[in-house]
């Protein structure tokens, strides 16, 4: 038996009004969706300075250069998120060495998979925690949220270093002050302990004098496991680089997150093992996270 359809004119007035309203709503939704521009990725405002200092141009980004582990995939991230910004950091050509702040080669050239295109400065300041703070500050600046850039160099005290400039020169001077006054101990105090899976943008940190901090640049999932891509600067100040997994070369440069839960812990090439209690996260910010 064929279904019978009434012409619109045969519907009661109330039914015709509902039909017209539904059609208008659908049309408005379709037109609005088509008119709304797609979100643009957050830019890397530091690129010009980095290229001028190091003389090399980026040839790739992390996500393109470094594939997920076999059988793994990268989880989707919001386009403008801190994690997605880290995932696509620009990198120098494959095989590039890591250099110190003074241009000399780092003694160990066997611990890095890739070198990120970001300048180090001319002083021995941008070390491990400093590089983490630099990345967060650069991201907020590029998001158009400079008023949210602030760090607290004295744990337990109200001392605050807030950025209030409007030029790259002012921003660089601000970073110098932050790197001079803050460190791994103060950064650990203002980060939030993480409960749950590690996410891009999280930090593995053991605050102290000295201490160490490693940035989680990306994550991948597969086969019931989660994998971490880690980046660091170190002592003396040096180019930010992606770490190799020297303990499990077949997995390198990825690290198995589960190692955080078992002794001896997650081993990076130049520091003590990290445990789950060492995972921290920047506090959520209005209009950003």
- Residue 12: per-residue pLDDT: 53
| CB neighbour list of residue 20: distance below 8 Å, 6 or more residues apart | none
Low-confidence spans in the chain with pLDDT less than 50 = 1-8, 11, 14-19, 21-35, 52
Q: Please identify which residue in the block is written with the tokens 């790739």.
A: 60
Beta bridge partners of 214: 204
Give per-residue pLDDT as tens, 17-61.
Answer: 443 544 444 443 443 334 456 789 999 999 976 664 555 567 789
Where are the extended beta strands (E) located within 67-211?
Answer: 90-91, 112-115, 150-151, 161-162, 192-193, 203-206
Domain range summary for the chain, segments of one domain joined by +: 10-39, 47-281
- Residue 289: per-residue pLDDT: 80
- Residue 168: per-residue pLDDT: 96
């Amino acid at each position: 038996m064929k279904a019978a359809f009434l012409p619109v004119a045969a519907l009661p007035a109330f039914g015709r009004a509902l039909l017209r309203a539904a059609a208008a709503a659908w049309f408005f939704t379709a037109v609005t969706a088509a008119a709304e521009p797609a979100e643009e990725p957050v830019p890397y405002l530091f690129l010009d300075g980095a290229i001028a200092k190091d003389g090399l141009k980026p040839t790739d980004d992390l996500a393109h250069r470094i594939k997920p582990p076999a059988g793994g995939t990268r989880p989707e991230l919001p386009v403008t998120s801190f994690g997605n910004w880290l995932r696509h950091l620009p990198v120098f050509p494959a095989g590039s060495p890591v250099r110190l702040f003074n241009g000399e080669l780092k003694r160990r050239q066997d611990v890095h998979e890739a070198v990120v295109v970001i300048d180090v400065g001319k002083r021995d300041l941008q070390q491990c925690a400093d590089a983490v703070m630099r990345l967060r500050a650069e991201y907020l600046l590029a998001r158009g949220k400079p008023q949210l850039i602030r760090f607290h160099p004295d744990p337990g005290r109200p001392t605050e270093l807030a950025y209030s400039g409007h030029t790259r020169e002012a921003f660089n001077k601000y970073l110098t002050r932050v790197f001079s006054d803050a460190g791994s101990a103060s950064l650990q105090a203002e980060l939030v302990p993480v409960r749950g899976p590690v996410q891009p943008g999280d930090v593995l940190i053991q605050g102290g004098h000295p201490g160490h901090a490693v940035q989680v640049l990306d994550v991948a999932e597969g086969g019931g496991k989660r994998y971490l891509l880690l980046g660091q600067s170190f002592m003396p100040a040096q180019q930010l680089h992606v770490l190799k997994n020297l303990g499990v070369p077949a997995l390198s440069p990825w690290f198995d997150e589960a190692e955080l839960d078992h002794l001896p812990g997650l081993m990076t090439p130049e520091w003590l093992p990290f445990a789950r209690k060492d995972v921290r996260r920047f506090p959520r910010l209005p209009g950003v996270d």
